[in-house]
Amino acid sequence: MPTTLTRLPPALQKLKDRDDRRPGFPGEHWLVLAAGVAVLLAARRSPSPIVRALGSAAGSALLVRAASGRDGLARVLTYLPVGKLLSR
């Protein structure tokens, strides 16, 4: 399902297409949730602000993935006022 928010770079699009083709497995979202929390907690302990920022971004992306499933952020944003503006 293509998103209307942005076009992905070719390398990321290739990775996303591969992920969309693979079969899911039961409990996948729980593993992604645990990975997101682990990344957030690990990044919090770093003294480097760059590592903390990148870890926070990666952990947050994993949490969104766990909450929204394979459709990604586009499906979650439809419930927010800003999402309706972006999907036009």
Span 25-42, pLDDT tens digits: 777 888 888 999 999 999
**Residue 31 located in a structural domain:** yes
pLDDT(84) > 90: no
Higher pLDDT, 12 or 6: 12
CA–CA dist 9, 7 (Å, integer): 7
**Residue 72 located in a structural domain:** yes
Give the residue-averaged pLDDT of 81-85: 66
Q: Which residue reads 């309706």 in tokens?
A: 84
**Residue 73 located in a structural domain:** yes
When pLDDT is cut at 50, 70 and 90, the band that residue 11 belongs to is confident
**Residue 47 located in a structural domain:** yes
| The total number of structural domains that make up the chain | 1
CA–CA dist 53, 8 (Å, integer): 22
75 touches 4 (CB < 8 A): no
**Residue 50 located in a structural domain:** yes
Task: List the domain range (segments joined by +) for residue 55.
Answer: 26-86
**Residue 16 located in a structural domain:** no
